[in-house]
Amino acid sequence: MIGGMISENLEDFLTIDDFDVKGKTVLFRADINSVVIDGKVQMKERIVENAKTIRELSDKKAKVVILAHQGRVGREDFLTLEQHAELLRTLIDLKYIDDIIGPAAREAIKKLRAGEVLLLDNVRMLAEETLSRSPEEHARSIFVHKLAPLADIYINDAFSVAHRSHASVVGFPTVLDAGIGRLMEKELRSLRRSFHNIKSPCIYLLGGVKPEEVFDIMEHTLKRKKVNRILTSGCVGTMFLYARGIIEPGEEEKSDKQFMKNLERAKQILQMSDDRIWYPEDVAVEIGGKREEIPVDVIKPKQHIYDIGERTSERYAGEIRDAKTVIMKGPAGFYEKKEFRKGTEELLHAVSTSDAFSLIGGGHTSAAMSTLGINKTKHTRVSLAGGAFLQYLLEKDLPGIEVLKRD
């Protein structure tokens, strides 16, 4: 159980420093899964950060074989890793082969020289990869059976897939000497710190478009009694405006099952919150193609809310300034549109300039930081993980982490 891991140092794992990788074949699990827009893979932090660890291994004269995925089978973002290879090539030298376990891939692995890097194709092209299996079962897969004998060491740098019990995540470390990469080290350190050294006042800033994703976190943290305030924004904040009866659901919302389920849950959470949940007092809407800020009690039925208003941002920023710990997930509004990025910008600015230890997580929030050009300071940690970040905040075991722990 994660709750038992108090230490911020990572003595329960082997790291790259524990291996002599020179001349050794290292199977390296990266997470370079990226946003795809119009078929084009976007260069994001995950690629940049993974490239740093890969470069270190290559500099140490390892033969690096990268295992990675892109998208999910059947979805539009399910692609080969050809574009990732091109993007990675702007940062490191590497070869790419559109094969994973076939003779061509195995031959290419065998031919690697010290310091060379080879990216294999999307591991999710193998049906075995995503089967719901235990580490021991995955270790018996053809995937692991074909590649593990060619490797000496397995390094996992993909915290963001650690919540998946997939072959490339749990199968290889079951049969090979295994450790964690630099990005994984960074992620684990910040998460452990935010969880086991929580200093009061602690606030959670929860926004984004999926209230159902953060309800579990709200319940969990309210029960743990470690949170002083939960400041809501985005669709999460709007849902609490409904739950408080400030906005009335219209016919459309009433016939939306997910909406009604969310509303019910938000009401239950409010009951257990002892007023620790705050919601916006003003919001930004679009009137005549322009941003207008209005108090929440004059929101009209069917009016779309695109951001929090100035008064809310100021009130929240004040709480952020006084906090010692801040955990943030989800943008405050539709930051992709210039007129509606103010709320997200102001909250991120308040977080990154406060003296509080802060942890910012979730793919959209870290993307918002880079879009808005907000730099993190020495107190700020940014997790590049989405699902794994959520699981961690819920203190659930992550199979990809458990399997890497030393006995």
Rounded to whole angstroms, the Cα distance separating 366 from 30 reads 18
| Cβ-based nearer residue to ligand 3PG, 32 or 101 | 32
Give residue for tokens 């420093």.
Answer: 17
Binding mask 341-380 for ligand 3PG (x = CB under 6 A): ----------------------------------------
Binding mask 120-159 for ligand 3PG (x = CB under 6 A): ----------------------------------------
Q: Which tokens sit at 137? A: 């079962």
Identified binder of ligand 3PG from the candidate list 87, 123, 139, 161, rule CB under 6 A: 161
Rounded to whole angstroms, the Cα distance separating 130 from 171 reads 11
Contact 128, 72 (CB under 8 A): no
Contact 308, 283 (CB under 8 A): yes
Q: Is 164 in the site for ligand 3PG (CB under 6 A)?
A: yes
Rounded to whole angstroms, the Cα distance separating 62 from 28 reads 11
Instruction: Count the residues of the shown chain that bind ligand 3PG, applying the rule CB under 6 A.
Output: 8
Q: Which tokens sit at 181? A: 């990469």
Identified binder of ligand 3PG from the candidate list 22, 72, 110, 304, rule CB under 6 A: 72
Q: Is 84 in the site for ligand 3PG (CB under 6 A)?
A: no
The minimum distance between CB 160 and ligand 3PG, in angstroms, equals: 5
Give residue for tokens 């060491």.
Answer: 153
| Cβ-based nearer residue to ligand 3PG, 135 or 386 | 386
The minimum distance between CB 92 and ligand 3PG, in angstroms, equals: 20
Give the closest residue to 30 by CA, choosing from 43, 47, 13, 45: 47
The minimum distance between CB 387 and ligand 3PG, in angstroms, equals: 5
Identified binder of ligand 3PG from the candidate list 173, 309, 331, 386, rule CB under 6 A: 386
The residue sitting closest to ligand 3PG, measured at its beta carbon, is 33
Which range, of 97-105, 160-168, 224-232, 336-344, touches ligand 3PG by CB under 6 A?
160-168
The minimum distance between CB 130 and ligand 3PG, in angstroms, equals: 8
Contact 94, 88 (CB under 8 A): yes
The minimum distance between CB 176 and ligand 3PG, in angstroms, equals: 22
Identified binder of ligand 3PG from the candidate list 21, 24, 29, 33, rule CB under 6 A: 33
Find residue 278's DSSP bridge partners.
231
Q: Can you say how many angstroms the Cα of residue 238 is from the centroid of all Cα atoms in its chain? A: 23
Give the closest residue to 209 by CA, choosing from 310, 344, 300: 344
| Cβ-based nearer residue to ligand 3PG, 343 or 362 | 362
Identified binder of ligand 3PG from the candidate list 160, 194, 312, 313, rule CB under 6 A: 160
Q: Can you say how many angstroms the Cα of residue 58 is from the centroid of all Cα atoms in its chain? A: 26
Rounded to whole angstroms, the Cα distance separating 39 from 125 reads 18
Contact 365, 329 (CB under 8 A): yes
The minimum distance between CB 75 and ligand 3PG, in angstroms, equals: 9
The minimum distance between CB 50 and ligand 3PG, in angstroms, equals: 11
Identified binder of ligand 3PG from the candidate list 89, 267, 387, 402, rule CB under 6 A: 387
Contact 381, 359 (CB under 8 A): yes
Is the bond leading into 201 cis (omega within 30 degrees of zero)?
yes
Q: Is 326 in the site for ligand 3PG (CB under 6 A)?
A: no
Give the closest residue to 309 by CA, choosing from 208, 237, 368, 248: 237
Kindly list the residues in this chain that would bind ligand 3PG in the complex (CB under 6 A). 31, 33, 72, 160-161, 164, 386-387
